[in-house]
Structure 1
Amino acid sequence: MTCTGATTPTTSPTAGPSPTTPPGDPWNPPAALAPGLTEVWNHVESTYPNLYGFRNYGWDQLFANGGAINYCVRWDSSAPVSAALRDRIHAGLTRQFTKWMDALKGWSDWPYPTVPVKVVGWAVRDRATLQWTDDSVDIYVNDINENAPQCAPACGRFFHQDGNYSGCPGGRAHHYDMSLWLTSNFGGGAGGDWGQRVGSEYFVGALGQEDVHIFLHEVGHSFGLGDFYDWTPSGVCCFLMKAGSASSITEFDRWMLRDWWRHLKSRYGY
């Protein structure tokens, strides 16, 4: 599985000081997981020198929107999409994204009991691929980047991290934070601050499953979680972010996500 971690900045933000963990922060992972979690965070800090200066993690996107996330679907396929399939993809995306957000609910000042996920646009090569006529989402036709259709850069946070969407038709309400890039015959996945990429056949075929595990893994990257191709933290063997060792979010994955929140929360005033 090829992944692009969000901890590798795609812009050149100004590095900031390492925030301190607030006194009394309820960092109380299970004893068996604590040594591995410490190793993971030490690895994060030693591997990514611009860790605290980067400002386009999924965390930053959520807080810029007041606790919501907007998506664009890059339909990199010639397969037709009915209105019913469009809505199933939106519902499946929301269900999977929420699995990560549920790990934070009620924990250490996390302010959002729910995180709405909205699909604001679809990008295709040919308008006829999309078999609906309503205006529930913006549609972008044959705007090609990286040999795939994309939603308008003027509406993308990746391109406008200052929050200026004045060039976006419809303005800020029509902006997207991440792309769900669904590519025909694509194996594995990729993820980062720009969104997630998986196979279109894989994602659609897995919509009825409890866990779309490759997609879930890639969402982890969007929130900064890394890969574990060449090492394994102490005390654990199998977890989602160690590709191929788990097919759902484990307790270790949840605590890794919480560790990111406790280290970055001060940037959002918590």
Structure 2
Amino acid sequence: MIATADTMAVRLKQSPKPTRTLVCLGFCGGGTATYHSWIPALPADVDLIAICYPGREGRFAEEHAQTWSELAADATRGVASIANGTPYVLFGHSMGGWMAFDVTARLAAMGAPAPAALVVSACNAPDRGVTEQDRFLAQGQDDEELLDWMRTHGLLPEHVLSEPELVEMAVELMRADLRARDSYAYAAGTRVDTPLQVFSGDRDPVIEDGVGSRWAGLTTGAFLHDVLPGGHFYTPDVWRNLPARIASLHPHAPTTF
């Protein structure tokens, strides 16, 4: 199966006259459906696109990416396929935050349109490398431990839980993402010129002290760091309304870049 722009970049919301587009990258085990709940929180003139990684949803017939480099190259193609008109904001949560940073750097290297802003959520700065703190989900954990985490964070809808084959696929997908994550290596000296906003939870055990200042050193652009209530996915209400906190989607707000 050959990936197309439509299968790589899934449009979840389309406005009659969009002024910008929010483009979202997935976290470990996540897919494009994660971002459906954000639609009501988006400004009327903002479109929503989620990048679909290989091996899931409309790309289920493709092989999972085996390495970070392979996955990042694929995600970069997906973002580049829609970066040809309306200004866009690139968002990533957890592993997706590292992916968003890497994709932004790759787009700059290839001369493709850069995002108007980069937003990373619930992830440590990538220049410290993948540490045991980041491996809060590990390849060595058994299936039931991974499933329990996915259930807790709403990654397994009822229709999946009721089908053993779908549950098996969900675990396989999670393990593929963990393998890719663990092969990530920050390229020394990499920085971006894009305005950068960082979100972190005040009770997230994954996030290290000083995460804001460390991320600030990775951009030459404007920088914001917002600490939000809750753990790795904040609180349900905060997660559902996170687009309302993305400064670059509200250019006339007092907290904008």
TM-score under structure 2 normalisation? 0.31
Larger radius of gyration: 1
Higher normalized helix content (fraction of residues): 2
TM-score under structure 1 normalisation? 0.30
Higher relative contact order (CA 8 A, sep 6+): 1
